[in-house]
Structure 1
């Protein structure tokens, strides 16, 4: 494999800016790493987040400023499968329960917990960040940019039989149809 005549060594996976880049397109290891890093961050400020006398608005600010960015680091490149979304939601719900001092045996619905904490939904925030990244890429659209060539590239082989794996752009097509690129230019998008 070569890029502009320069040969490129083929490897299965490598780390770039703290993210694992791999051929298998399986983001579960990245998501698991983000979840464990977010829990480490949560433990560092846990006394503040779990204290009953701390105001919920302060807890919310700390969560959105200290934990959410760590949890969603690199989410712009993820293909959010149902399994990945489930992992992220479980992590957030567990943190929310701890913030409120609620355990699973109390049988409090997660909608009620979310209403009490007022935190952003992790999956919606990940999709929003992914869409903003796509919008940024579309606005910088110039001929010959490597990211644009990569977006327009079609592999020279067929996809394997069976259910096709989720591609990075499938999320956009699912919610906004075939003309999703035009929506990024007009900024008429909704990540929900």
Structure 2
């Protein structure tokens, strides 16, 4: 796999006189990795897998004989972990955030057996299930907590080097892509990277910061 802003590169790598196949994407530990280093494909995949899991449990999750609070707890226990697998590595953009929010509301509407023709607002749906939006909030908290975990453990020295390292080159033209670390800076309100790293080294202070992420 080749990760470079230069799309014209086409290197040839051989081992024991055999060419190594170049791929555009591959699955590693159950998650898709691609040349663009973009999380959008992985998030779409996780949502569809979670949607299939929801359908398999539809008889339980949509059963009106069970209390809605109990069904929501089952949803959080069995469906949310499917969609959130590997979310600590995601870079969240606005369209992917909307996609996650839409999937969460899709689950609640199916559990309440609401058709789109009934024109029930999302706020009303959340009131009926007794919940606020939790899926995206969980992604934020897990990503922020993961940063602290990395920076406080010596065994992650390579990851620390990658995060703290800088490339001494001029930035190419065009809009700057949203980075993994920029997500955390926006969510925590700590815009200075060095300050964020100092906070992450203090477990108690960073735990408070993580708990306040909305």
TM-score band w.r.t. shorter chain: 0.7 to 0.9
Q: Is the 8 A contact 2:91 2:180 kept in 1?
A: yes
Is 2:158 aligned against 1:146? yes
- The residue number in structure 1 matching 2:196 is 180
- The residue number in structure 2 matching 1:167 is 179
Q: Is the 8 A contact 2:32 2:42 kept in 1?
A: yes
Q: Is the 8 A contact 2:26 2:33 kept in 1?
A: yes
* Aligned 1:35-184 pairs, distance under 5 A: 35-117=47-129, 118=131, 120-140=133-153, 142=154, 145-174=157-186, 175-178=189-192, 179-184=195-200
Q: Indicate the SS of the match to 2:180.
A: coil
What is the CA distance between 1:78 and its match in structure 2?
Answer: 0.8
Higher relative contact order structure (alpha carbons within 8 Å, sequence separation ≥ 6): 1
Name the CA distance, whole Å, in 1 between partners of 2:111 and 2:156. Answer: 49
- Stretches of structure 2 that go unaligned for 5 or more consecutive residues are 3-19
Over 3 Å counting, the alpha-carbon distance change for 1:152 and 1:164 in structure 2 is same
What is the CA distance between 1:180 and its match in structure 2?
Answer: 1.9
- The residue number in structure 1 matching 2:6 is none
What is the CA distance between 1:119 and its match in structure 2?
Answer: 5.8
Name the CA distance, whole Å, in 2 between partners of 1:144 and 1:71. Answer: 26
Name the CA distance, whole Å, in 2 between partners of 1:24 and 1:154. Answer: 20
Larger radius of gyration: 2
The one of 7, 31, 40 aligned to 2:43: 31
Over the aligned positions, Cα root-mean-square deviation in angstroms equals 2.1
Q: Indicate the SS of the match to 1:169.
A: helix
